[in-house]
Amino acid sequence: MNRKKLVVVLLCVIILAIARVLLFKSNEKKPSESTRLSGSTSTQSTSTGNTAASESQPVSADVRLTKDEVSKHSSADSCWTIINGVVYEITSYVSQHPGGTEILRACGIDGTSLFMQRETSSGESIGSGTPHSSSAQSQLEQFKLGNLEQ
């Protein structure tokens, strides 16, 4: 009888150990905001059917993605930008930007030259003056709200 109890206890311990390993793997720390632009693709659907950063507020269906609408989001508290004709809501990334507050230059405007060439519209070089990496360009997609309306 003691042998049967020992076998049952050992089986329970093994099952609990396996469950703990599986639970630990599924609860591994989620990528932080600062690592999101270096590999994570966490997104959520917005009410317009586009994807946006998980901390972003969904865009209501009646919001039109126009230059006028983008211009209303020109601060660190609400930062939208246009890059190559696509509107991005980057508010949640502002405080994590490796280039510091330089990212605020893109809020509320067409930031294509700032992102692609790291230049202002007047040709002033910003930061390193080199384009963002292709990885950064593809990872920008997590902040996409949709195409700019003409």
Each residue of 62-102: pLDDT tens digit?
Answer: 678 999 999 999 999 999 999 999 999 999 999 988 888 88
SS3 breakdown of the chain: % helix, strand, coil, rounded to 5?
Answer: 40, 15, 45
User: Against a cut of 0.85, is the pTM above it?
Assistant: no
Q: Which amino acid is at 42?
A: S
Domains and CATH numbers, the chain: 44-147 (3.10.120.10)
Closest CA to 108 of 130, 133, 82, 84: 82
Each residue of 26-64: pLDDT tens digit?
Answer: 544 433 333 333 333 333 333 333 333 334 456 666 678
